[in-house]
A and B are shown apart, each in its own frame.
Chain A
Amino acid sequence: MRKTLKATLFYILCTLIVVLWMVPFVVAFFTAFKTMDEIFMLRNFWSPPKTWTFENFKVAWIEGRMGRYFINTTIVTAVSVVGTLFLSSLSAYALAWYEFKLRTAILMIFVSGMLIPFQMLLIPVYRFSVVTGLYDTLIGVILFHIAFQLGFCTFFLRNFMVTIPSSLFDAARIDGAGAFKIYSKIIMPLVKPAVAALSILEFTWIWNDYLWSLILLQSDAKKTVTIGLTTLQGQWISSWNIIAAGALLAATVPVIVFLIFQRYFIQGLTLGSIKG
């Protein structure tokens, strides 16, 4: 009897929370499928559309140039994630397996850098990009993302690597394997789960980045999805249906990735528990 009561309470409370948490999604969903007439006639955000239309998505994708922005974001995200994972695996390996004088100091540099408020970087990074000609190029944004995420990724991978028994490392040493070989053939295969968790997190963060695209990009042809969304807001000021369609389009990719790889995402957040 008590058991049933507890279970019932669990389901009631969980359902209540989830319904509350889903309301904003439902609002966005309904808004994205409404016709312009309905938006202006009824001016409400909560009722289901009287006539469902896909037109808004088309407008956002073609006239709102979301298609173009998607390509840019995909390039920036893919290259940044691969780059930062590769480089941080190198630094994590060095910090996890070697005893050397500056080890703790370098680890601390990486750790403190990842917790610095981003405003501390804005002005010099912007100036540096302008001076070096990296301003308003995708490669400029990519390089910055790679560097900026190095602190967190190094810390994360190093913590994972130190849990690998050193006997493995020593045995390979005795067999005469070189440092790079140990890294690529022994350590990297073992840290695959950590790399998976980290890449999902990084993918989500970089895909959703707004600030750095805002600072480092200018021309419309280079814009990323998040910047594109605010541009959309400026162009279609009260056409909420178009903006909602754009927002849903922008959210689709990270949401699908999240749902498929949720386990990794949560693992990554837990192990990293630094930022989100």
Chain B
Amino acid sequence: MKKKLAPYLFLAGPLALYFIWVIYPIFRTFVVSFTRWDGMTRPRFVGWENFIRLFNDRYFILSLLNNFKWMVGFVILSIPLGLFFAMLMDQKYPGHKVYKSLVYLPMALSFVVIGQIWSWVLEPSGGIVNTFLRWMGLESLAKPWLSDPRIVTYSLIWAALWRQVPYAMVLFLAGLQSVDREHVEAAIVDGANAFQRFWYVILPELRPAMVITITVNIIDSLRAFDIVFVMTRGGPYYSSSVMANYMYIQAFHNYRMGYGAAIAVIQFLITLGFILVYVLNVLKREERL
């Protein structure tokens, strides 16, 4: 009897807190998404109305598409760059640790700080990017990075990559630890060149690290909020808005809690698929342990 109770005694405190602040709110948000509610008066049940409206809401669709830009940007840029940095700095030449430390540094910063710093880097007249482009004689490429609706989202992704690439690099470096040296040696004996070794030996063994890193990047891209909020507030005219921002504006500026909750639910459903991939991978790893 005592043995049966023990785990629950240990779990009681943590689970209680977790239920109040995390689990219950998740269900509550589902309920709220079917209501019209200003956050003060009584919520009114309206069925699917919020969801139907959302799909006719230009700005929501725009935000959704921007999230996909983030996703594609993260995956096609931080994966190859992170892998390249990892392969490069995995060579143990003297000083490799210092190089690593410096590249990792943005991971210690808040997105607010990152956003502010990049606002100066990308500033149109005196920012270093445009100054450099002009100095190279590429005046036509010096753009108003944060005020042109067509490119603003890409500029924000660029700023986010400053932190995202080192993160991918860390995950790949961990993956490289588990690559079997003997296989690589054998490939050398068989006369494989560097590219063949990478393509046929190292890359297949990096598969688990690859799946994890891609999934993490996708989930992060769907979570984007702080950088957008600090650098552009989703502007100009919602052109850089992402779902998280749009949800925040609707719920906390326009007091449309039901509508905001519906945005959160859609975001949740999109993320869910990727989470499942991730959890299944974790379980697979568990079985191997």
Contacts and interface: CB of A to CB of B under 8 A. Distances in A.
Contacts of B219: 115, 275
Contacts of B243: 119
**Chain B CB within 10 Å — which of A46, A126, A226, A266 has the most?**
A46
B146 interface: no
Interface string A202-239: 00100111110001000000000110011001000000
Interface in B92-119: 93, 95-96, 99, 101-113, 116-118
A174 interface: no
A254 B123 contact: no
B126 interface: yes
Contact of A258 (B13, B85, B108, B113): B108
A14 B220 contact: no
Given A204-B108, A208-B109, A270-B171, A45 B127 contact: yes
A162 B287 CA distance: 12
A194 interface: no
Residue from the set B104, B105, B167, B248 with the largest chain A CB neighbour count within 10 Å:
B105
Contact of B126 (A18, A43, A150): A43
Interface in A183-211: 183, 204, 207-211
Interface residues of A, number: 98
A141 B261 CA distance: 21
Contact of B111 (A179, A210, A255): A210
B174 interface: yes
B20 A273 contact: no
B113 A21 contact: no
B126 A262 contact: no
B268 A116 contact: yes
Interface of B is mostly: helix
A226 B110 contact: yes
B205 interface: no
A125 B25 contact: yes
B162 A109 contact: no
B117 A25 contact: yes
Interface stretch (A48-56, A57-65, A88-96, A164-172): A88-96
A27 interface: yes
Contacts of B89: 14
A152 to B, nearest CB: 11
A255 B105 contact: yes
Interface centre among A7, A179, A225 (most CB of B within 10 A): A179
Interface string B245-289: 001100110000100110111011001000100110010000001
Interface of B: 3-4, 6-11, 13-15, 17-18, 20-26, 28-29, 32, 39, 85, 88-89, 91, 93, 95-96, 99, 101-113, 116-118, 120-121, 123, 125-128, 131, 162-163, 166-167, 170-171, 173-174, 212-213, 216, 219-220, 222-223, 225-226, 229-230, 243-244, 247-248, 251-252, 257, 260-261, 263-265, 267-268, 271, 275, 278-279, 282, 289
Interface of A: 6-7, 10-11, 13-15, 17-18, 21-25, 27-28, 31, 42-46, 87-88, 90-91, 93-95, 97-98, 100, 103, 106, 108-113, 115-128, 143-144, 146-148, 150-151, 154, 162-163, 179, 183, 204, 207-211, 215, 225-226, 229-230, 233, 240, 243-244, 247, 250-251, 254-255, 257-259, 262, 265-266, 269-270, 273-276
22 contacts: A13-B88, A18-B102, A21-B166, A24-B121, A28-B120, A42-B126, A44-B131, A88-B14, A115-B271, A116-B271, A123-B29, A123-B257, A125-B21, A128-B25, A229-B112, A250-B113, A251-B109, A257-B108, A258-B107, A269-B107, A273-B213, A275-B220
